Amino acid sequence: MVNLFDLAGKTAVVVGGNGVLGSSMAEGLAAHGANVAIVGRNYDKAKSVADGIVADGGNAQAFQADVGSKESLRQLSAEIEAWSGGCDILVNAPGKNSPTPFFELEMEEWDDIMDVNLKGIVLTCQIFAKRMIEQGRRGSIINISSVSSTTPLSKVFTYSVSKAGLNSVTQFLAREFAEQGIRVNAIIPGFFPAEQNRKILSEERVASIMRHTPMNRFGTPEELQGATVWLASDKASGFVTGTLVRVDGGFGSMTI
């Protein structure tokens, strides 16, 4: 059973790997033998995550890229190929949020969030999936969605729309890439306190979240590692594609 989750010899590219959730997923992949490329717009933060993985005995390297720029992503792909040969596992974990009410929303903010949460992931999949196919690699793409993608939440209008779009992209690409041996799935995390959502976690909102989460607590970043490693492994999830995997403490099952 342990061999089901062995990622030795595989290269995982974690875009947004310098974030709270992305860094934990990167650590889980490295712990199971993957070479992990930590990609972030802020190189220093990405390097800190990579250095931590190396200190724990894993293999990781930091890279800087702008997910909104195709040219930047092409350069990133080339740099990762020079480092490890190419990408086998792509984790798309960048995220941007804002609590701006609908009637106060300006299109500049809309575009900024969409560029990171949706356009950036589409571009990243274009660049890396193409290279996987050209190199004949059986790969796994894991997109990080949100509970707001299926149940729209207050105070995160643009974020919810972007994540709903991401679910659609995930399922479309699963169909598109299946014959090339590339699986595409998404993880739907519940509430995991991170930098991007702390500003909307008022005491009242936390109480509301707990009322709608049967497990009555927030998730911890480490609790995303199992689903990530499972979806990354062809041995463990080789017949799984186009799936939205909930890791949400039961949030999605709560009605009244």
What residues are annotated to the active site?
159
With H, G, I as helix, E, B as strand and everything else as coil, classify residue 88: coil
DSSP designation for 202: -
Q: How many helices (DSSP H) and strands (DSSP E) are in the chain? A: 9, 7
Q: What residues pair up with 185 in beta bridges, in sequence order?
A: 142
188 vs 117: CA distance, rounded Å: 14
Alpha-carbon span 43 to 49, nearest angstrom: 10
Q: Map residue 140 onto helix, strand or coil.
A: strand
Rounded Cα distance, 51 and 214, in Å = 37
Amino acid at 129: A
**One-letter identity of residue 72:** S
Query: H-type helices in 178-253, by residue range?
Result: 203-211, 225-232, 234-237
E strands, the chain, where? 11-15, 35-40, 59-64, 89-92, 139-144, 182-189, 244-247
